[in-house]
């Protein structure tokens, strides 16, 4: 039950009704018996600065930021963590001593998901990663792979955007190739990541023949609706290890919850089943 001392956090987006974050954070709040709440806040782009500036005055602990505000909120932060600055987007805001601290936890969520669900013998550092896509999520994925010292081969429908991403994320081994060369690039992959929106419900399918991909390469899709994308199904059929994208969503939420509510929550099979039962079946 909430008291007058409840700690409040939430998610700001537009629209925000589809967000799974309230279900996820409120599950953890209940699990840990914390006097707190996590609420959805639909905020229009023209109001985002005013709303963000008001957070410390309202006494909230912080917020998650989702589409379309992840880049825009950076201008209103008092401090931006290095990974968020590198990616150029903030997905988690912590209010600390009246100051707004912007972080990006998507890359950490991506790596934690692989670490938790990969086969024991698969090593992220054993070879190259082929990343499809150069949007906001792809940047977080690439920055996280670079932090793991993984060589990245990046391809995107709009090559200029991939070049921009490569220039922005310089500092690790990163090669851009044409979108129509993506299948040939699979030959050298130890990891294949779909970080485009292709394959998501309501979006076109990802067209990608996997013939050149070594059967030992791990295949992951950051799209999690549907949970088993056609890419993951095709990879699984030919014997590649696969990791779905739901875990990335769950793990990216851990640091925010810990900052706001003072407990480091754990991603469990029970939590995953709870979210799946609520949202996917």
Active site residues: 70
Q: Which is nearer to ligand NAP, 88 or 109 (CB)?
A: 109
**At its nearest, how many Å lie between ligand NAP and the CB of residue 225?**
7
Q: Which is nearer to ligand NAP, 190 or 194 (CB)?
A: 194
**At its nearest, how many Å lie between ligand NAP and the CB of residue 274?**
17
Q: Which is nearer to ligand NAP, 63 or 248 (CB)?
A: 248
**At its nearest, how many Å lie between ligand NAP and the CB of residue 78?**
25
Q: Which is nearer to ligand NAP, 109 or 265 (CB)?
A: 109
Q: Which residue minimizes CB distance to ligand NAP? A: 135
**At its nearest, how many Å lie between ligand NAP and the CB of residue 160?**
9
Tokens of 94: 């912590």
Report the interface residues with ligand NAP, using CB under 6 A.
106, 109, 133-138, 156-158, 161, 196-198, 200, 204, 222-224, 245, 248-249, 252
Sheet (strand 242-243) strand order = 174-177, 152-155, 128-132, 189-194, 218-221, 242-243
């Amino acid at each position: 039950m909430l008291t007058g001392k409840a700690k409040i956090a939430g998610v700001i987006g537009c629209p925000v009704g589809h967000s799974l974050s309230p279900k996820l954070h409120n599950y953890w709040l209940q699990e840990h018996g914390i006097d707190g709440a996590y609420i959805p806040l639909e905020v229009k782009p023209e109001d985002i600065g005013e709303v963000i500036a008001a957070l410390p005055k309202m006494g909230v602990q912080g917020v998650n930021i989702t589409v379309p505000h992840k880049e825009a909120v950076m201008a209103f932060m008092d401090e931006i963590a290095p990974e968020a600055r590198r990616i150029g987007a903030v997905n988690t805001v912590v209010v600390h001593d009246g100051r707004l601290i912007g972080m990006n936890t998507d890359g950490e969520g991506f790596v934690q998901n692989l670490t938790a669900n990969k086969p024991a013998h698969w090593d992220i550092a054993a070879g190259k990663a082929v990343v499809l896509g150069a949007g906001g999520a792809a940047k977080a994925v690439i920055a996280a792979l670079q932090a793991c010292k993984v060589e990245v081969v990046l391809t995107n429908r709009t090559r200029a955007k991939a070049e921009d991403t490569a220039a922005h994320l310089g500092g690790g081994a990163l090669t851009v190739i044409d979108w129509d060369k993506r299948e040939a690039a699979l030959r050298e992959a130890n990891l294949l990541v779909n970080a485009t929106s292709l394959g998501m419900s309501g979006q076109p399918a990802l067209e990608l023949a996997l013939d050149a991909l070594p059967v030992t390469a791990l295949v992951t899709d950051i799209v999690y609706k549907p949970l088993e994308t056609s890419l993951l199904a095709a990879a699984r059929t030919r014997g590649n290890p696969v990791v779905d994208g739901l875990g990335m969503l769950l793990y990216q939420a851990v640091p925010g919850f810990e900052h706001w509510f003072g407990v480091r929550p754990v991603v469990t099979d029970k939590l995953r089943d709870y979210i799946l039962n609520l949202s996917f079946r």
